[in-house]
Structure 1
Amino acid sequence: MRELLSLLPKPSRYTGIEEGSVHKRREDVAIHCALAFPDMYEVGMSYLGQKILYGILNDREDIWAERVFTPCREAGAILRSHNAPLSTLESDTPLAALHLVGFSITHELCYTNILYMLDLAGIPLRSADRGDDLAAWPIIMAGGGCTLAAEPMAPFLDLMVLGEGEEVQVEIIDLLAKARSEGWSRTRYLEAASSIPGVYVPAFFADDAQGATPAPLRQGYDKVVRRIIADMDNARYPAAQLVPFGAVHNRLALEIGRGCTRGCRFCQAGMTYRPARERSVPNLQALLEDCLARTGYDDVSFLSLSTGDFSALKTLFMQTVDRCAEEQVSVSLPSLRVGSIDDDIMRRMAGIRRTGATLAPEAGSQRLRDVINKGVTEEGLMLHVRKLFEHGWQQVKLYFMLGLPTETYEDLDAIVDLCRKVRDAAGRGVRRLQVTAAVSPFVPKPHTPFQWEAQISLEEIRARVGYLRDAFRREKGLKLRWHEPEMSFLEGIFSRGDRRLAPVVESAFRKGAIFSSWMEGFDLAPWLEAMNEHGLSPDEYTCARDIDAPLAWAHLDSGVSREFLLRERERALSLKTTPDCRYSGCRVCGVCDTKAGPSRLDRLPGVEAYANRLNFEQRDQQSHEPTLDDNGQVVRHEAPNRPPKLSGDLVHKASQYRIWYTKEDMAVFLSQLELQTIFERALRRAGLPPAFSQGFHPLPLLSFGRALPVGVASRAEWFTIILRERFTADEVRQRLEGRLPKGMRVTFVEEQLPSKRHPQPVVEVFTLRYLAPEEMQPTFIDAWRTFAACEAFEWTRDTKKGQRTGDIRPLFRDITFEDDGSLTLRLDWTDFYMSPLALARAVFPEAAINELAMTKLEQHFEPA
């Protein structure tokens, strides 16, 4: 793949040179594997699980774990047209040459992306077609939240991991190293792997033509139980983690805990990630310091299924926010429930930023919220909203679900009514107030109390969305957003799917149905065609299930008992709520060791007991009523409409430097926008504190030279930085040594007098080489000799304002033909600037963009 990077959209996705990336020699390791994410780089690099496994595996000298993501459609077509296999990021090794490829399955709509990646890699899609020679093809495995019910993928995967992978992944790889060294067959390896707690080998369970529970084929291997880390303080968390060039969530995600016991009856994660386990506050504080120092992030997010339920959230947040403010590092709290943060936290958050607040009542009526056990009352929601308005928030988003069990159109009316009440809670005279309702169709999930319920039909989903759209059109200050009904309908088919859907997945892939979780290009038609071709109907999967009928995932045990799920289903239908067992009585779900009996989870060495593990017995937060005026209206603590005032230390300008650096090898594919973030984080890691600008969005006082085109190398790039401490130029250079991506190094640092003006060079020198076969070289040289001899050269190019034609010959001050066949170009930017790579292609348009190697050698700020 690497030789095609110039042709690929956003090639920095495939360079593998980010901070924290690991590069080893294949001959030095026993197992060479890939952590594969079946979506594009920007999505996959937001996934914390892959970063954790990457750090754990690469800490071992005998293991090299690389990464691979799904190429976009355009990139995939380029790979196919050049007969280039899908390869890893760090070493450009074809996936077929690895020992193991492990996919993260985070949702059902990524299934065809897995086949797409295997096909691009030239690996047989089905496990049965890979033969019994362990050395012939890599082991193809998967982990992630979907593997507890991923039967439609069973024929394509050699094994799956159920539950948390930090420990079991290492055990799988150690066993694979032993198997390869001793010449085992694939079958023998899988038989041995099946004895590892948490490992599911689909081939050891027989397919059922009716979609029932697969029958075991190995004695004593009749079910597989989820694997967990019992104590989060013992869970390894990488401080020197991967820092992406760009990601959907490009920040430090500090995992403060796992599991949620709120008991929302629609929530698969809330059932299958039990028990609730928190990291201790001292452990988190140490991790925070280490991670910030090693990554250079300027944004921290506390990550958990329900961050607001972390028992020591106020203690952690208040201790963290002041420390982070000293370095202009922001702190955010995602996954907040109604009433889950108190006034002190809200007040501090308001001082940091007030964009929009998101709350999830899930249902409009209290009756339906009790059915799903949301644990949210209208009174609690309105209290939370009034506190938001009191502290100056003006945008609130409310999440709702459509089609929940027992839902009626009266419940839809209640959504509109609740949003209206939220809007009006701000009181009179509030400007620019916006309340947005985001609705998503309910999808019944396995291992939940609602796994037996029906999903409403596609036609009914559309009808209910339309009903709400009509209602919201009549309301001022209210907006409606909705998840596409077709996408939720498809998710509903596969969420409770069985192995009969495997041919459907393969057929849909062959029809081009990839990236099905992206609205761009999503099409339901090929999926329905594939189902029809294989004699299946969507209704078979979206209909209600008989509670006595076998389930396709019954052999996969989450630890939560069927009896508990049935009890919760009955309580739902009886409008009974169930309190959170963290702070109230045990409901005997089966996961924890209790007086009623031991945990259903496998007993592992070193685990004394499975139980909720909290910092405090009760949450360390309190909530108070909002302040009201004499008319009963919420008193708003409006911040003045001016930017936050930074401390004097953060804006102090002690010294200014121009830093010269190279940009070669894979770094040529980094864009100017990516370089901005790279240098900001490198300065933080190097302990070089930048001074910040004032304004609503303070930024480091960092200025760059003219942007270099992506794909062009340079030995003479620069940027200027103003620091708030004084260093010698050599100290700055030494501190930045080894802090930049591969292909970039600091060559020279010069201290400057403070100046707002940073002049750009008027002359730049480049070398240009044509990489085509030798027989094409004379054509290249002849074109350039002809160009050099002419007095004018008119060139028409496309611009944002249409086509422009101009003479580019004056831009070339000198053209030197070197003995090795390369050219040295001295370009003059006195009058105007153009991309040097575009100029080179204008002279010789026959060259493909990946056939031109261009390197900047010099910059001159005065004519030379």
Structure 2
Amino acid sequence: MRELLALLPRPSHYLGTEINAVHKQPSSEMLRMALAFPDLYEVGMSYVGQKILYAAVNAREDMWAERVFAPAPEAAAVLREHGAALSTLESDTPLDGMDILAFSLTHELCYTTILYMLDLAGLPFWAAERDQGPLVIAGGGNAANAAPVAPFFDALVVGDGEEVLVEVGSVVLEARREGVNRQALLARLAAIPGVEVPAMAQSEVERRMVIDLDAIPFPTQPVLPFGKVVHDRYSLEIARGCTRGCRFCHAGMTYRPVRERSLPVLQRLVQEGLDATGFEELSFLSLSTGDFSMLETLFAQSYARCLEEQVAVALPSLRVGSVSEQMMGLIARIRRTGATLAPEAGSQRLRDVINKGISEEALLRHTEQLFAHGWQSIKLYFMIGLPTETEADLEAIFDLCQKVRQTAGKQAKRVQITAAISPFVPKPHTPFQWQRQLSCQEVRERIGFLQDCFRHQKGYKLRWHQPEMSFLEGVFSRGDTALAEAVSLAYAEGDILTSWAEHFDLSLWDRVFAACGIEPEHYLRARDLDEPLPWDHIKTGVSKRFLQTEYRRALAEKETPDCRYGACRACGACNFNNHSSELRQQAARAEIRPRINSAEREAQLPERNWERQNLQEKQGHFRVWYEKLGPARFLSQLELQRLFERALRRADIPVTFSAGFHPMPLLSFGPALPVGVQSYAEWFNVFVRQSGMDPDTVGERLQSQLPQGFRVLGVQELSLGKRQSQAVAEEFDLQLHVPADQARLWQEHIQAALAQEQIRWERKTKRRGWQIEDTRPFFEEVAQVSPQEIRFVFSWREKYVSPLQLVRLLLPEARLDQFTLTKRRQIMDCQETSQQVEQNLL
């Protein structure tokens, strides 16, 4: 793939040269594993699970885990046109050359994208058709019922993956050394707790569980993405599991018991993670972050540094009332990252049915505090179609939004309340797994009812998840192996990236289901409590008897208190205090019990002085000259800015920040260099808030934090004024990568174009529509250096135009992989060239 980077959209997503990416020297004794995420780079690089697995496997000297994501459709078209296979990012190795291809199953709408990636890799879809090549395995939340895609996989990993994936790799290495066949290898894998081999009959498969989180490493040096990703922050997992007992929640049921990392370990992980990443946001991650028993102390340990370095602290998955008012005020002092709460239902009655465990009074008290500390918008998540829901419950959604807005007091007219609506989808291994799911028509009717409630109401927004997507999610959520044929046919019909609205087409699936003789409504129906289910053989730790009891309590509108603070309900997850666990293989080897730091929450934050230095102070100003060559040329200007901001943080260079609601580092760049263009003479300016910093020290520190293709040429000390020298002209080399006869022809085209009085550029602008511009004045000098190299000097005295666009006006038929454009020097308005600057600095 790497030789096609110039032709790929967003080429930086296929480089594999990010900071902290792991590169090893492959050998015949090494196990090669591709961690495959069936979605785009910007989604997959946000997934903490893959980061954990990447670090766990790469900690072994005899194993190498690399990454691969689903390419955009435009990129896939380029691969197919050139006969190139989908490859790993780190080493550009085609997937059929790996030992293991391990997919993450994070949601039901990724299933056809798995086949899309197998197809681009040239691998058969069905496990029964693969007698050689890599083992194709999968894990993740959906592995607890992977029946609809099980025939595509050689093995499935159920539960926590970091230990079992390394065990799987070890078994594969051992089998290779012994020369055993594929069937014998699969039999060995089936003997590992947590591994299901679909081709073999296994009466039970236990969910694999990491019992002590402190005993396993957490990646403090995650790969830093090029460009913006969905969750662009350092996410630190502080706990696993939840015992709140929400009856709709798959993760809350299947990841019991609660296991927390200890405070000393978390303090170390915070420091190491921020040092190694330079992220401007820290997120404490768990199923219910507010339930972490020592959250106040953890926050206090981290806050001083975050305040000092303008690092925002995000607390996702917060329950109402789980954050003290003091903490709320401190978070607001750094940067408000948004307030999202999930009451799930509008009425208290329905919240009791789903066992949400929060009261309206507590919710309104929480939002009142948020508004008092400066938040001006709040998003509330609700589900519709929950068991026993009535029209009154729907009306209660808007009523609750009104009450929340009123808690803003005098500011109520200025605040924004957003109600985000998702159709309820029954999930396996939950008390509602037997419940009926609404049809698309029923969901549309309920959304229409809510639209009427919210219509013409200022200060409120109503957003909703597409009912058609939830319909398809529901089919596969409780599906069986009969759906695998539909997945295969849907991919053949062109379905990929199904979770993206622009790619989703339910009519395609309607045709596919009809062709396969499948009635999708069959999977949405209510189930009898004693009916066999496709996932019954998967033991998550929570017993079916407990789920049935919770289902009956839901219909009786009875709450079940959190066992963390109340009586044990004997769900089956634990084996201590005379309780038996459903995870018998693992319970026989270790005591499975909640691992928490304390039984009660702390009362308040420790008293401390939370003052910080003036981050807007300007004590120094530098211009950093650098080159960007090879893979670095494929980064966009926005990606460059983010890269340097984080590199400066990691280099411990105290950058000055702007004032305002969202303070930003004070960096300024010259005109943006187009993606794909190299440069020996780039620069950016940066203000620092520490006086007396040595320019050479700044350059040395920064160089140590830059990825492949970047080199700091030198650092100039500037005045503190805003007006600094700029380029009035730049010299570029155009290197042609075509046969000699074609190069001569192109040279003639260029000379002919330059001989004209005008070089017309017809372009469309937003304000004036189509415009024609003469670009001939931009070509100040042109010289032929060799038969395949031309040198240009472009003048920017009037304005800046993309040098790549100017070249393409001369060679409109040339592909981007047929030439390289490189900036050699800049000519500044102070009559100095970048080469003279570099010589002075050196």
Could you say whether these structures have the same fold, taking a TM-score greater than 0.5 normalized by the shorter chain as the test?
Answer: yes
Look up the match of 1:679: 644
Q: 1:370 aligns with which of 330, 352, 361?
A: 352
Contact 1:166-1:236 at 8 Å conserved across structures: no
Query: What are the ranges of 5 or more consecutive residues in structure 1 without an aligned counterpart?
Result: 205-215, 624-644
Deviation track 1:215-269 (CA, whole Å, cap 9, x = no partner) reads x2xxxx4211001111111121011111112211101101111110000000000
Q: Does 1:703 align with 2:665?
A: no
Partner-residue secondary structure (3-state), 1:406: coil
Look up the match of 2:773: 806
Q: 1:715 aligns with which of 677, 680, 697?
A: 680
Q: Which deviates more from structure 2 when the two are superposed, residues 589-598 or residues 67-76?
A: 589-598
Q: 1:766 aligns with which of 725, 732, 738?
A: 732
Look up the match of 1:229: 210
Q: Which amino acid aligns with 1:831?
A: E
Q: CA deviation at 1:387?
A: 2.5
Look up the match of 2:41: 41
Partner-residue secondary structure (3-state), 1:815: strand
Q: Which deviates more from structure 2 when the two are superposed, residues 602-611 or residues 648-657?
A: 602-611
Deviation track 1:805-862 (CA, whole Å, cap 9, x = no partner) reads 2332332222221235211212222222211111111111121122121111111114
Q: CA deviation at 1:383?
A: 2.1
Q: Which deviates more from structure 2 when the two are superposed, residues 785-794 or residues 279-288?
A: 785-794
Partner-residue secondary structure (3-state), 2:199: helix
Partner-residue secondary structure (3-state), 1:651: coil
Partner-residue secondary structure (3-state), 1:229: coil
Look up the match of 2:62: 62
Contact 1:321-1:330 at 8 Å conserved across structures: no
Counterparts in 2 of 1:336-347, with a 5 A limit? Answer: 336-347=318-329
Relative to structure 1, is the Cα distance of residues 105 and 332 closer, same or farther in structure 2, using a 3 angstrom cutoff? same
Q: Which amino acid aligns with 1:497?
A: G
Q: Which deviates more from structure 2 when the two are superposed, residues 707-716 or residues 377-386?
A: 377-386
Q: Which amino acid aligns with 2:61?
A: E
Alpha-carbon distance in structure 2 between the residues aligned to 1:682 and 1:476: 43
Aligned-CA RMSD value = 2.0
Q: Which amino acid aligns with 2:716?
A: E
Q: CA deviation at 1:618?
A: 0.9
Look up the match of 1:437: 419
Q: Which amino acid aligns with 1:144?
A: G
Alpha-carbon distance in structure 2 between the residues aligned to 1:182 and 1:482: 55
Partner-residue secondary structure (3-state), 2:413: coil
Deviation track 1:425-471 (CA, whole Å, cap 9, x = no partner) reads 33356331222221111101000011111101111111111111112
Look up the match of 1:490: 472
Look up the match of 1:797: 763
Deviation track 1:115-152 (CA, whole Å, cap 9, x = no partner) reads 01111111111111112xxxx31111111000000101
Look up the match of 2:575: 593
Look up the match of 1:450: 432
Q: 1:858 aligns with which of 802, 806, 825?
A: 825
Q: 1:361 aligns with which of 340, 343, 348?
A: 343
Contact 1:29-1:61 at 8 Å conserved across structures: no
Look up the match of 1:619: 601
Look up the match of 2:96: 96
Q: CA deviation at 1:196?
A: 1.0
Alpha-carbon distance in structure 1 between the residues aligned to 2:321 and 2:714: 54
Q: Which amino acid aligns with 1:182?
A: E
Q: CA deviation at 1:604?
A: 4.5
Contact 1:227-1:602 at 8 Å conserved across structures: no
Deviation track 1:409-437 (CA, whole Å, cap 9, x = no partner) reads 12112222222222233335633122222
Look up the match of 2:689: 724
Partner-residue secondary structure (3-state), 2:671: coil
Relative to structure 1, is the Cα distance of residues 549 and 779 closer, same or farther in structure 2, using a 3 angstrom cutoff? same
Q: Which deviates more from structure 2 when the two are superposed, residues 716-725 or residues 460-469?
A: 716-725
Q: CA deviation at 1:331?
A: 0.8
Q: Does 1:72 align with 2:72?
A: yes
Alpha-carbon distance in structure 1 between the residues aligned to 2:387 and 2:412: 37
Alpha-carbon distance in structure 2 between the residues aligned to 1:97 and 1:429: 61
Q: Does 1:31 align with 2:31?
A: yes
Look up the match of 2:241: 259
Q: Does 1:517 align with 2:482?
A: no
**TM-score for both structures, normalised by structure 1:** 0.92
Contact 1:21-1:90 at 8 Å conserved across structures: yes
Alpha-carbon distance in structure 2 between the residues aligned to 1:60 and 1:18: 21
Alpha-carbon distance in structure 2 between the residues aligned to 1:845 and 1:429: 57
Deviation track 1:560-618 (CA, whole Å, cap 9, x = no partner) reads 11111111111111221111111111111111113343322254599631111111111
Q: CA deviation at 1:169?
A: 0.8
Contact 1:15-1:89 at 8 Å conserved across structures: yes
Contact 2:157-2:196 at 8 Å conserved across structures: yes
Alpha-carbon distance in structure 2 between the residues aligned to 1:407 and 1:588: 29
Counterparts in 2 of 1:571-610, with a 5 A limit? Answer: 571-604=553-586, 608-610=590-592
Partner-residue secondary structure (3-state), 1:142: strand
Q: 1:842 aligns with which of 809, 814, 819?
A: 809
% identity of equivalent residues: 53
Look up the match of 1:653: 618
Q: Does 1:754 align with 2:736?
A: no
Partner-residue secondary structure (3-state), 1:340: coil
Counterparts in 2 of 1:268-307, with a 5 A limit? Answer: 268-307=250-289
Query: What are the ranges of 5 or more consecutive residues in structure 2 without an aligned counterpart?
Result: 834-842
Q: CA deviation at 1:649?
A: 4.4
Look up the match of 1:153: 149
Look up the match of 1:121: 121
Look up the match of 2:838: none
Look up the match of 2:837: none
Matched residues, number: 824
Q: Which deviates more from structure 2 when the two are superposed, residues 558-567 or residues 410-419?
A: 410-419
Partner-residue secondary structure (3-state), 2:136: strand
Relative to structure 1, is the Cα distance of residues 427 and 328 closer, same or farther in structure 2, using a 3 angstrom cutoff? closer
Q: Which deviates more from structure 2 when the two are superposed, residues 275-284 or residues 491-500?
A: 275-284
Alpha-carbon distance in structure 2 between the residues aligned to 1:606 and 1:569: 30
Alpha-carbon distance in structure 1 between the residues aligned to 2:400 and 2:778: 65
Q: Does 1:387 align with 2:369?
A: yes
Counterparts in 2 of 1:136-151, with a 5 A limit? Answer: 136-151=132-147
Contact 1:738-1:745 at 8 Å conserved across structures: no
Contact 2:335-2:662 at 8 Å conserved across structures: no
Q: 2:158 aligns with which of 159, 162, 170?
A: 162
Q: CA deviation at 1:751?
A: 2.3
Contact 2:621-2:688 at 8 Å conserved across structures: yes
Q: 2:544 aligns with which of 555, 562, 570?
A: 562
Alpha-carbon distance in structure 2 between the residues aligned to 1:748 and 1:383: 55
Look up the match of 1:667: 632
Partner-residue secondary structure (3-state), 2:615: helix
Contact 1:126-1:156 at 8 Å conserved across structures: yes
